[in-house]
Amino acid sequence: MSTTTETKRITCWLDFVSPYAWLAFDQAPRTLEGLNYQMRYKPVLLGALLKQHGNPGPAGIAPKREWTYRHATWLGHAQGCGLQMPAQHPFNPLPLLRLALSCSDDGCINRFTADAIFRHVWLGGLDASDPARIAELKTLLTKQIRPDSDDQAKAFLRANTEEANALGVFGVPMFEVDGKLFWGQDSLLMLRAYLDGDAWFDSGAWDGVRKVQSGLS
């Protein structure tokens, strides 16, 4: 176990269109309980990151799409946070991402804002893009929204996505700490081990995988 008292700064890259981002958002505080860390939530446009790598995402492969929705729904049940697929998925997340970042002064959002938008999408099985529902969400976040923030929110989203791409973020949720990237809800235990000082991370195994040659032509 690590004996350091240093506060670790973790960046969580997220897009509200991802069910696993909601699951990880809910699970992370419990998995990381007792550790000394600061979590920053940075919204990005997942579609742009996927396009950069020629990745259609789970929704672009019909059998995988069905499995992903089934698996995520079950995980929400098993985890106790709930998860009901919205009426249409994938949906255009831009209005929600920009709303989130209209509550920001540095490209990060607080947990209250993220929680409100995740719940809007993933609880209730309703249309995440319904203008009336988004208007209600905006009312809920009124005290968080900064004056004349529309253009700034767009700029934050563009800058966040470009920064994430430059760091090698290829999907969400993605957690970054000390230059290391941990992808997906199922990486939280690995992230916990790193923050706990697990000796595996000093063994060379982390970088050793880069030596594996690709068998793809």
Q: What is the pLDDT of residues 69-79, one digit of tens each?
A: 999 999 999 99
**pLDDT recorded at residue 3:** 45
- Comparing CA positions, the residue from 137, 40, 135, 151 lying closest to residue 98 is 151
CA torsion 127-120-92-74 (nearest 10°) is -80
Give me the tens of pLDDT residue by residue for the chain, a chain 217 residues long: 444 578 999 999 999 999 999 999 999 999 999 999 999 999 999 999 999 999 988 888 999 999 999 999 999 999 999 999 999 999 999 999 999 999 999 999 999 999 999 999 999 999 999 999 999 999 999 999 999 899 999 999 999 999 999 999 999 999 999 999 999 999 999 999 999 999 999 999 999 999 999 999 7
Q: What is the pLDDT of residues 149-164, one digit of tens each?
A: 999 999 999 999 999 9
Task: Answer whether 27's CB lies under 8 Å from 79's CB.
Answer: yes
**pLDDT recorded at residue 217:** 77
Domains of the chain: 8-199 (3.40.30.10)
**pLDDT recorded at residue 1:** 44
Cα gap 187→144, rounded to integer Å = 31
